Amino acid sequence: MRITIYKTAGSWKFRFFSCAGRFHLFFASLPCILSGKGGDFLEYGYIRVSSTDQNEDRQLIALHGKGIPDNRIYMDKQSGKDFNRPKYKRLVRRVKQGDLLYILSIDRLGRNYREIQEQWRLLTQEKGIDICVLDMPLLDTRQGKDLMGTFIADLVLQILSFVAQSERESIRKRQAEGIAAAKARGVKFGRPPVPLPGNFYEVHRAWRGKKMTLRQAAEACGMPEGTFYAKAVKFEKAD
């Protein structure tokens, strides 16, 4: 068998000749030949803010500064307590071996120490992509791939993951303390109660007098049956 390898139109072509004169062709892109990884490599960005009223501009500016287009930037607006986030899951499904993911800081990836470690391993080892944490140059898997570089990166990742979870726990503690202090001052949380309709008392008497069914009473007051019943019980206890 004779093998001929040559380049045409930016791709490498392999031609196999058998003894019988037959041949087979297949094509592969240049990166595949050089690195053993297939396809063109893409760069992605991931953004996370904890709530819908938080501003993601700082993260967005940083990713745009790296030339990441909007259609390859994935953003979730929810807590970093776990990785059950729709856009993050979509990102993980989309990236392929050799791609590069940018995040501004490790706490934007998450705030759960154990799960940050697991997702980092999933992305870098199972998916085979590189990650660059913009505010921590030591967390750039393209650099320092020798034993010492890997050791330092792993150590930094563990420290920052610990800090991220510690900050989340501190935030939750401060929130709980603030709520407790507000309640002690008489501050009420939640939506204010909806006032009873003007005909509620008359309808309630008719319902208790078996002149109306529960459904009829609820419809007369413009509320679901369960709501009418709950308000009726509460009214009777207070009476």
Beta strands across the sheet bearing 43-49: 73-77, 43-49, 100-103, 130-133
Q: Is residue 94 classed as helix, strand or coil in its secondary structure?
A: helix
Active-site hit among 18, 35, 50, 79: 50
Provide, for the chain, the percentages of residues in helix, strand and coil under a 3-state DSSP scheme, each rounded to the nearest 5. 50, 20, 35
In whole angstroms, what is the distance from residue 130 CA to residue 81 CA?
A: 23
Which amino acid would we find at residue 69?
Answer: P
Q: How far is CA 101 from the centre of its chain?
A: 14
In whole angstroms, what is the distance from residue 66 CA to residue 45 CA?
A: 9
Residue 51 annotated among the catalytic residues of the structure: no
Residue 100 near residue 142, CB atoms below 8 Å: yes
- Please compute Rg for the chain using Cα positions: 31
Give strand ranges (E) for the chain. 2-8, 11-17, 23-29, 43-49, 73-77, 100-103, 130-133
- The residues carrying an active-site annotation are 50
